[in-house]
Amino acid sequence: MNPSANPSALHRIELETLYRVGEVLSRSLDFRLTVREVLRALDELAGMSRGMVTVLDPESGDLVVNAVSGHADAAHGAVRYQSGEGVLGLILDEKQTVALSRAGDEPRFLNRLGIYDRRLPFIAAPISLGGNLQGVLAVQPNTPDDGLLAERTRFVEMVASLIGQSVRLSLDIEEEKKTLAEERDSLRRTVRHQYGFDNIVGRSAAMRRVFDQVRMVSKWNTTVLLRGETGTGKELIANAIHYHSPRSRGPYVRLNCASLPENLLESELFGHEKGAFTGAVAARQGRFEAANGGTLFLDEIGEISPAFQAKLLRVLQEGELERVGGSRTLKVDVRVIAATHRDLEAAVDAGSFREDLYYRLNVMPILLPALRERPEDVPDLARHLAERIGGMQGRRLTLTEAAIRRLTQYAWPGNVRELENCLERAAVMSESGAIDADLIRIDRLRDAAPAAATAPAVAAMTSAPATAAVDATDLNLDERARVVAALEQAGWVQARAARLLGMTPRQIAYRIQTLNIEVKQF
């Protein structure tokens, strides 16, 4: 389009072009994209088909070609202008607009891109930000100088000013993105440390086996089933698996299946559509959708009903679900970690847990040992928990050797959670921060029947005479009766009863579970 030499007609064209430029700059914060659109508007509306934008390289101080009207990026990406080099280098030094009535009359006009007509005018205006040069907008009208070069120069300066505001916004956004990325990376490092293996206390052989299994399974997308009594740290292990897996950058979503009734559990996991039920005023995605690309931790999986188990099985097998009240099938990519303290095998036999779901969940089972089965970890655990409680109280807590001995003499039916509660009570009662044995208040503590393997001396004193009291080969007793007899003699301390029967603690725990023996608590 060739603008008329009539000043009023030129003003109308410039206003229309400025309006389009404003629209373009407001649509996106992608600087490279917007300047290309600005150059297109100058070409189509203002008759300036040879537009170019250069930006200042903060490291070298050179002007680097960023966009050229009608040209691909690859054609000009390496072209740059140094201080004093050509007309653009002059602007780099003096930061003043240059307007030439004929480009070829200026000896410093380089035309490195080879796109300009030396017979036509040339206008280059600085793109400034807070008084600092950020780049240059250069254009060439399609017609020879018609006496309105000064008017066109003011117009180009206005466009350059608008581009400068876009540069400001782009830089602010980039700085904010950089800050957020740094904060994100810092949080990721903190979380990885918080949920790392170093934060899981345990040097016993049983815990080392757990760590080895977690390290191996973390590398894959395999479904994991964490098994163990309440308070053994299943959620801590689930956290470690996620944050050491390839999905660690993805979302990590948790849900305790026992905390919700079945009608709410379905909506919570699968989401719902607007109007699906009373109160569903808007569509809502469920935990599976929220965990897409990451990990979903389902705690207490053994508590869900058989009816809901069938719905869950489909998601695990096919990666597909429908929201409550919806008919659209949604695909999800989620790694599932489930946990339970229940005997799922017995539940399958009883018909309360689907066998196919059991096999789908039990791909990689990890059994977390009870604290009474690894008494050698109690001292380290106690010190670790005391340090954490001290951090919450804003002071340093210490445990005396007498307190440690008293802690190791208890079987801890509530596992680590009970140990932590016990230490927190003791910390509250300690004015100085030192926790001695007299502050360890455990109502069920049986000093006469310490937990197994608290010390080699204790094991030696208790195992020899007790072994003769229980005849594991007595054919008059069935297996259940022998296990119960051993437990009675050992004060219902499983590790001691295991020694009486020549078993490992894990073997007797399995017998208790499979023989449906109710463990007495003291």
pLDDT digits (tens, 9 = 90+) for 156-185: 999 998 888 777 777 677 778 777 877 766
DSSP code per residue over 81-124: E-TTSHHHHHHHHH---EEESSGGG-TT---TTS---TTS-EEE
- The confidence score (pLDDT) of residue 217 equals 94
- The candidate with the shortest Cα–Cα distance to 418, out of 407, 429, 402, is 407
Q: Which tokens belong to 506?
A: 């894990």
| Residues 121 and 144 sit within 8 Å (Cβ to Cβ) | yes
Q: Which tokens belong to 318?
A: 């096919």
Question: Tell me, which fold does domain 372-439 have in CATH?
Answer: Helicase, Ruva Protein; domain 3 (1.10.8)
DSSP code per residue over 220-250: S---EEEE--TTS-HHHHHHHHHHTSTTTTS
Question: Tell me, which fold does domain 202-369 have in CATH?
Answer: Rossmann fold (3.40.50)
User: Confidence class of residue 23 from pLDDT cuts 50, 70 and 90?
Assistant: confident
Question: Tell me, which fold does domain 7-174 have in CATH?
Answer: Beta-Lactamase (3.30.450)
Across all residues in the chain, what is the average pLDDT? 83
- The string of pLDDT tens digits covering residues 100-151 is 999 888 888 888 888 888 899 999 999 887 778 888 999 999 889 888 889 8
DSSP state letter for 324: B
| Residues 372 and 493 sit within 8 Å (Cβ to Cβ) | yes
Distance CA 269, CA 278 (A): 18
- The string of pLDDT tens digits covering residues 208-259 is 999 999 999 999 999 999 999 998 989 999 999 998 899 988 999 999 998 8
Q: Which tokens belong to 333?
A: 């990519």
Distance CA 304, CA 452 (A): 36
- The confidence score (pLDDT) of residue 197 equals 61
| Residues 357 and 478 sit within 8 Å (Cβ to Cβ) | no
- The confidence score (pLDDT) of residue 425 equals 93
Contacts of 191 (CB under 8 A, 6+ apart): 243
